[in-house]
Structure 1
Amino acid sequence: MRKTIKIGTRASQLAVKQAELAKQTIQTVLKDTEIEIVTIKTKGDKILHKTLDKIGGKGIFVKEIENALLNGTIDIAVHSMKDMPDEMPKGLELGAVLKRENPMDALVCAKNITWENLPKGAKVGTGSLRRKTQLLALRNDLNIIPIRGNIMTRLQKLENELDAVVLAVAGLVRTEQQHKISHIFQLHEMVPAACQGILALQIRKRNDFLKQVMKNITDNHADICQRAERAFLNEIGADCHAPAGALANIENEKIYMKAMFYTDELLLAEGYDSIQNAEELGKKLAMQIQKQSSVHFM
């Protein structure tokens, strides 16, 4: 009889919901195996008084979980792929990429307010530089308030602190709060974070059994799109908390992608290629943005 498989995740409501989705997906392949969810607090969960760009360093939501995977406390790590650094610790690898939830950003408003009637100078909460820069490009009168915390903590701020908050549609859907959405930003309004809505399952390299399981549950479209989007981030030299965004989608064996980056202005690029050239497309869009900018990229 095979031992219990332990899945590690952050301790937030959303993270646990995502781990449950991963568990259900794994159980389609391992029907009779017991799977346990283990919650782990990360640096990003503990430091809530600073915005993400001020904490610094890559992997603030994944390092402690990766350490638990390396030392054998857990067998699989579940991450929001948008939080994962491009480079992984020695001994770990990306096992599976699960089917993508809606990747867009959403506005949730206080009572009787909508995106269309959001008042001048309205207080809009977000902890993301990417969202902030794109919101101000749409409405430069808005008062952007930095916020941190889990989804429910952010939503509670609508009671007496904020007029609206911007959150990922995927997180709202997974925590069953999608009925509170006032407006879903379309791609021409706001480019989402690279890999937003995608769950990544990470394993130890030497675990051949789980490697085969992961292969059987990976969603090919999501995998191709994440490769293109992460190639863009890597080429432009942005970490997962930089004011950068990218969204790829696949139609008729072609991959279409739009990307944004903010330096001293909002820069955009878009294009398409065959799915075999997904990563090359990401690099090409990064180079397009680099050519537009007067700022030196690393």
Structure 2
Amino acid sequence: MDKLVITTRASALALWQAYFVRDEIKKHYPSLEIELLEITSKGDKILDRPLALIGGKGHFTKELEDEMLAGNADLAVHSLKDVPSYIPDGLELVAITKRADQSDVFLSHKYKSLDELPMGAVVGTTSLRRRMQLLSIRPDLQVKDLRGNVNTRLRKLSDGEYDAIILAYIGLARLDLIKDVPYSQKLPLEFMIPPMGQASLGIEIVSNNPKLREIASVLNDNDSFLFAKLERDFVSKIGAGCSAPVAVNATIENDEVTIRAMIGFSDGTNILKHSLSASRQDCDDLGIKLANDMISQGALELLKASEAVSFKETRPQRL
């Protein structure tokens, strides 16, 4: 194999990620010619409403997968949190990069921290997961939709459209943008549980290509791959899409793996939390066990009811 085509979204952060992957591969295969194929995804085009209102899955991945299936690319680099639990026939998710800082970060031009926000302050986020967890602690806040790439979101904050916004820390850190905001506060994972796969990259390849699999394997981190499997098993079992109000996170300490999850209404009510632990040797089905436990506690009914009320204030009314 003399040439490798990597497909990626065209946003600044996605390109950072694709160049990072390219450079890592180059360290192991210096003579390999690597080309980037930049694609604008559906999720990047639809900026006038929350993706949770559009329906379907894979808003940031489908176009990249289509390029691979059409033979125009060999490998795709995704933010793992955007990758649905279902992978199309002919493709494989074969490597997960080492998980970076998973924190969400509070950003403001007016207030030093989340605790300093006054009652009724306007906070920007489109994530149902963030809405759920934020309003479960601060039901007095107004949470408003926030779409666009990272720079667009930061501009809306500086223009005064929001008192504060919440974004993933790692994207801002990679683009060196946190310094441009007067006040920032990393939120503890105990307060803001991440989504499946946050702060890892998912490497997807065309199936039945041993050389591609070999190349992709240099990017894999074993612990991160395990965490991703458990989290994705959980999400798949309960049938939650990428935009559902679901938080799930697997960690390891002293060879004990713990996975915890939280689901509820996006207005911060009707919260269901649960966690399970097992030794690393016995944790392979821990995500499925956690999902089954929560299903027995009413998780499926809760998710269905939550979908009916999420973004209710922005849904078009039937005439």
TM-score where L is the length of structure 2: 0.88
> Equivalent residue of 1:35, what SS?
strand
Shift of 1:216: 3.0
Residue 172 (structure 2) pairs with residue 172 (structure 1): yes
Taking the aligned partners of 1:184 and 1:284, their CA distance within structure 2 comes to 31
Which blocks of at least 5 consecutive residues in structure 1 are unaligned? none
Name the counterpart of 1:204: 206
1:266 and 2:271 correspond: yes
Aligned match of 1:283 in 272, 288, 303?
Answer: 288
Q: Which residue of 2 aligns with 1:84?
A: 83
CA distance in 2, matches of 1:206, 1:91: 8
Question: Separation in 2 of the partners of 1:115 and 1:278?
Answer: 36
Is residue 38 of structure 1 aligned with residue 37 of structure 2?
A: yes
Counterpart-to-counterpart distance in 2, 1:19 and 1:277? 34
SS of 1:245's equivalent in the other structure is strand
Distance 2:299 2:257 in 1: 29
SS of 1:182's equivalent in the other structure is strand
User: 1:6 is matched with which residue?
Assistant: 5
Displacement of 1:80 in angstroms is 0.7
Change (3 A) 1:294 1:195: closer
Whether contact under 8 Å (2:196, 2:247) holds in the other structure is yes
SS of match in other structure, 1:28: helix
Q: Cα deviation per residue 1:11-61 (whole Å; 9 max; x = unaligned)?
A: 111110111111122122212222222210111111111101011101111
Aligned partner of 2:248 in structure 1 is: 246
Given that residues 251 and 259 in structure 2 are in contact (C-alpha distance below 8 angstroms), is that contact kept between their aligned partners in structure 1? yes
Q: Is the 8 A contact 1:261 1:289 kept in 2?
A: no
Structure 1's 73 and 295: CA in aligned 2 closer, same or farther, altered over 3 A?
closer
Q: Which residue of 2 aligns with 1:16?
A: 15
The one-character-per-residue Cα deviations of 1:117-149 (angstroms, maximum 9, x if unpaired) are 111111100011110011101101110011111
Of 85-94 and 208-217, deviating more is 208-217
State the distance in 1 between where 2:125 and 2:293 align.
Answer: 28
CA distance in 2, matches of 1:31, 1:61: 30
Identity %, equivalent residues = 40
Partner Cα distance (1:249, 1:240) in 2: 20
Structure 2 CA distance for partners of 1:82 and 1:295, relative to 1, 3 Å? closer
Partner residue, 2:190: 188
Work out whether 1:232 is the aligned partner of 2:231: no
SS at 1:116 equivalent: helix
How many pairs were matched up? 297
Tell me the equivalent position of 1:215: 217
Does residue 1:117 correspond to 2:116, yes or no? yes
Secondary structure (helix, strand or coil) at the match of 2:202 reads strand
- TM-superposed deviation, 1:295: 5.5
Return the TM-score normalized by structure 1.
0.94
**Distance in 2 between residues matched to 1:289 and 1:269, nearest whole Å:** 7
Alignment correspondent of 2:143: 144
Q: What is the Cα deviation at residue 279 of structure 1?
A: 4.1
Structure 2 partner of 1:156: 155
| Amino acid aligned to 1:265 | N
Question: Match of 1:52?
Answer: 51
Which deviates more from structure 2 when the two are superposed, residues 178-187 or residues 76-85?
178-187
Aligned partner of residue 6 in structure 1, secondary structure: strand
Q: After TM superposition, what 4+ stretches of structure 1 lie above 6 angstroms from structure 2?
A: none
How far apart, in 1, do the equivalents of 2:281 and 2:31 lie?
36
User: What's the Cα RMSD here?
Assistant: 1.7
Q: CA–CA distance in 2 between the matches of 1:62 and 1:175?
A: 21
CA displacement at 1:167 relative to structure 2: 0.5
